[in-house]
C-alpha cells in the first residue's frame, strides 16, 4: 500500500490513570482492563499493517508490558517498549516525542507516525490507507470522527515529529502546517473511545479480540450506564 517504511509510536499511560472520563461508568479495575485491552488491539493492528517496520510503545504500565511480551510474533513488526519520560506538564506529547526519538534511532530512514492507543476497532487496511495518503506530505494527520481531535499524526523521514495532542488538536496540527487527510468518516482509524457514548457505540460494532472479550464480560454483568 505504501512504499515508505514506518515506525508507529503508541503512547499508553498507566492504565489506572487512563480514560478518566469513563470513571463514572466503570470501576477502576474495569477501566484499567479496558485501557489495556484497547491498547493491545490497537498495537496488534499496527503491527500487522503493510509498511510498518516497527511499533514503539511508550508506557510505564507493567501489566501491559508483560502482555506485549506474551503477544510477540516474529511474523509481525517487532515491538519496542520505551519508558515514559520524566514527569512533564504535557505528558502525552512528551511521551510521543520520546517514542519518535527511539524509533528514529532504530530505523533512521523510516517515516514516523504517532497513533493513539484507544482505537479498538482499528483495522490494518485502514491504517495502511492513511499511511499511504500521508506519504507525499512532510506532515499529515487524521482527525477523529468529531473532527476536533487527532488519532494519527505522521511525518516524513527526517522530519521532526511535533505532536500537539490534547483539546482541539486537529486545529493545532493543521495550524502547525500538517495536512488533514481525507479519510472517510467510517474509517476505523477515526473512532477512538473517550467518553461513555463512545464505549456504548463500541458494543454495537466490530472491535479487536481483546476489547470484544472485555465487552462480553461487561455485558454479562449488565448494561453500560
Which cell numbers hold the place of 83?
519508558
Cα–Cα distance, 192 to 177 (Å, whole number): 24
Edge-first strand order for the sheet with 179-180 is 79-82, 52-59, 6-12, 111-115, 150-155, 139-143, 179-180
For residue 40, give the nearest of 64, 7, 24 by alpha carbon: 64
Other CB atoms within 10 A of residue 147 CB: 11
Residue 150 labelled as part of a binding site: yes
Transcribe 126-145 into DSSP letters. Answer: HHHHHHHHHTTSSEEEEE-T
Maximum alpha-carbon separation in the chain: 50
Q: How far apart are CA 19 and CA 128, in angstroms?
A: 26
Task: Find out whether 186 is annotated in a ligand binding site.
Answer: no
Residue 151 marked as a ligand binder: no
Secondary structure percentages of the chain, helix, strand, coil, to 5: 40, 15, 45
CA distances from 174 to 134, 177, 195 (A): 14, 5, 24
Residues placed in the known binding site = 150, 166, 169
**Residues comprising the binding site for phosphoenolpyruvate?**
150, 166, 169
Amino acid at each position: 500500500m505504501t512504499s515508505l517504511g514506518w515506525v508507529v509510536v503508541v503512547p499508553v499511560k498507566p492504565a489506572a490513570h487512563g480514560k478518566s472520563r469513563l470513571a463514572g461508568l466503570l470501576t477502576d479495575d474495569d477501566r484499567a482492563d479496558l485501557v489495556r485491552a484497547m491498547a493491545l488491539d490497537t498495537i496488534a493492528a499496527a503491527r500487522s499493517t503493510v509498511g510498518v517496520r516497527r511499533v514503539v510503545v511508550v508506557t510505564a504500565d507493567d501489566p501491559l508490558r508483560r502482555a506485549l511480551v506474551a503477544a510477540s510474533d516474529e511474523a509481525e513488526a517487532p515491538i519496542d517498549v520505551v519508558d515514559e519520560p520524566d514527569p512533564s506538564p504535557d505528558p502525552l506529547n512528551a511521551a510521543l516525542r520520546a517514542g519518535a526519538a527511539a524509533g528514529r534511532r532504530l530505523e533512521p530512514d523510516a517515516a514516523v507516525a504517532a497513533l493513539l492507543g484507544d482505537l479498538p476497532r482499528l483495522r490494518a487496511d485502514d491504517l495502511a490507507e492513511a499511511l499511504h495518503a500521508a506519504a507525499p506530505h512532510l506532515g499529515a494527520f487524521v482527525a477523529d470522527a468529531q473532527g476536533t481531535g487527532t488519532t494519527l499524526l505522521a511525518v516524513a523521514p527526517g522530519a521532526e515529529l511535533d505532536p500537539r495532542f490534547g483539546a482541539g488538536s486537529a486545529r493545532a496540527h493543521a495550524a502547525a502546517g500538517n495536512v488533514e487527510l481525507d479519510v472517510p468518516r467510517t474509517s476505523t482509524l477515526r473512532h477512538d473511545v473517550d467518553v461513555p457514548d463512545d464505549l456504548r457505540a463500541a458494543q454495537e460494532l466490530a472491535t479487536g479480540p481483546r476489547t470484544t472479550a472485555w465487552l462480553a464480560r461487561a455485558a454479562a454483568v449488565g448494561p453500560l450506564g
